[in-house]
């Protein structure tokens, strides 16, 4: 790991504590697993997509961005705001029988 991280990078446990502190009340993440998942979600998805949107805008392009935090009722909300959960809402199909477990709506 030393060849990947800068010499002055904090230890992983210290980085996780710092991230948890930075989250404050904005996140329900509290267990080490939840904090790690929130950190990786931000690192892998949120930050790159924000950078891409900024670059698109800086290049003169039109940009639209959204963040979905809907926790699907399916599987006792274990999926959280999983990949593609927004699709039924974006296209007005949240009442579709295939989407109901995820939208929580009865159509």
**In whole angstroms, what is the distance from residue 54 CA to residue 46 CA?**
12
Give the CA-trace dihedral at 37, 104, 85, 15, to 10 degrees: -10
As a whole number, mean pLDDT of residues 29-56 equals: 85
Give the DSSP per-residue string, 66-82. -------SGGGGTT-S-
The predicted structure's pLDDT at residue 51? 95
The per-residue pLDDT for range 44-88, each reduced to its tens digit, is 888 899 999 999 999 999 999 888 887 777 777 777 777 888 888
């Amino acid at each position: 790991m030393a060849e990947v991280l800068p010499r002055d990078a904090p230890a992983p446990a210290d980085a996780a504590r710092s991230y948890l502190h930075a989250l404050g009340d904005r996140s329900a993440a509290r267990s080490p697993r939840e904090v790690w998942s929130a950190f990786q979600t931000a690192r892998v998805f949120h930050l790159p997509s924000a950078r891409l949107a900024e670059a698109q805008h800086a290049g003169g392009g039109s940009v639209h961005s959204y963040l979905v935090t809907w926790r699907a009722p399916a599987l006792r909300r274990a999926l959280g705001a999983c990949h593609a959960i927004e699709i039924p809402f974006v296209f007005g199909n949240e009442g579709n029988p295939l989407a109901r477990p995820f939208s929580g709506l009865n159509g």
